[in-house]
Amino acid sequence: MEKLTSPYIDTEQYSRISLQSYQMNTDININLKFNLKKKVEKRCNKDGYVIKVYKILEHTDGVIQPENFSASARFDVKYSCKLCLPVEDTTIIAKIRTINKVLMVAENGPILCIVLSNNINMDKFKISNVNGFFNIDQKKDLDVNDFVKIHIISKTFNFGDNQIKVMGYLADIASPNEVKEYYDTVTNENEISIRTEEAVQSDQESEFSDDDEIQNGGSVSNYII
């Protein structure tokens, strides 16, 4: 197995944001960031799950389409953020949420890991008649809230999802030091939580059709009609 890795990185992303006419005032940069956070935070884009928006680095001139009677302007923005993107063939730490004889479900922030009973390290675990997964070294069954090392086999997510689903291989249990370094520091720092579908839907007042992901940023300037 490869050494433990963190699925979180600091990176730069691009998006297209709309401002309503009443938002185009002296607080334009604040309003841009507010609308950006509302659109991209706590959901997946094409690259991964956006944990937190740090700041807007650049934005283009605001463009108001002549046929747009609401007079809203669209801005292409470049921003810095913390992104969650689990990589296949790497190993992460996850906290067990559900466990039985058939499968285990564990979480690391927005990552939902599913481990089937045939995808376990047989040198470390065996199937038991109690909780399903027995740790040979510690001579006890794994339980809810235990921390384990999961090797990522595959991952799946779609634009707008509030989770990244992972099929994994149960490699080992995680030590307290490993949990502190690769799990606690990230989840505590960013207050990561998996949001319900209702919360996501309530945030989707900004239309995705107007806010497609783009590939280049721009400089600060005025509005263009």
pLDDT tens, 118-150? 999 999 999 988 778 999 999 999 999 999 999
> Residues, the chain, total?
225
Residue 56 tokens read as: 């807007």
- Residue-range definition of the domain harbouring residue 168: 90-180
The whole-number pLDDT of residue 105 equals 98
76 neighbors 14 (Cβ within 8 angstroms): yes
Does residue 70 share a domain with residue 101? no
* CATH code for position 27: 3.30.1490.120
Of all residues in the chain, the percent with pLDDT exceeding 90 is 65
Q: Answer yes or no: is 105 within a domain.
A: yes
Q: Answer yes or no: is 170 within a domain.
A: yes
* CATH code for position 147: 2.40.50.140
Q: How many domains, in total, are found in the chain?
A: 2
The whole-number pLDDT of residue 64 equals 80
Does residue 127 share a domain with residue 172? yes
Give the phi and the psi of residue 181 in degrees, each rounded to 5.
-80, -40
The whole-number pLDDT of residue 66 equals 74
Q: Quote the strand ranges of the chain, DSSP E.
A: 8-19, 43-44, 49-59, 62-63, 73-84, 91-99, 103-108, 111-116, 125-127, 133-135, 140-141, 147-156, 164-173, 223-224
For β-strands 62-63 and 223-224, DSSP reports them as parallel
pLDDT tens track for 22-52: 888 878 889 999 999 999 999 999 999 999 9
172 neighbors 121 (Cβ within 8 angstroms): yes
Residue 123 burial (10 A CB sphere; 0-12, 13-18, 19+): exposed
Does residue 127 share a domain with residue 98? yes
The tens place of each residue's pLDDT in the chain, 225 residues long, gives: 568 999 999 999 999 999 888 888 878 889 999 999 999 999 999 999 999 999 999 998 888 877 766 778 899 999 999 999 999 999 999 999 999 999 999 999 999 999 999 999 999 999 988 778 999 999 999 999 999 999 999 999 999 999 999 999 999 999 999 999 998 666 555 543 333 333 334 444 443 334 444 433 333 333 332
DSSP result, 178-216: HHIIIIIHHHHHHT--PPPHHHHHHHTTS-GGG----S-
Q: Count Cα neighbours of 163 within 13 Å in the Cβ-side half-sphere.
A: 14
Does residue 61 share a domain with residue 35? yes
Beta bridge partners of 88: none
Could you say which of 42, 59, 84 is where a domain stops?
84
The whole-number pLDDT of residue 197 equals 37
| Residue of 94, 122, 116 whose CA lies nearest to 103 | 116
Does residue 168 share a domain with residue 132? yes
Could you say which of 59, 84, 109 is where a domain stops?
84
Could you say which of 84, 108, 134 is where a domain stops?
84
Q: What global pTM score does this model have? A: 0.78
Q: Answer yes or no: is 174 within a domain.
A: yes
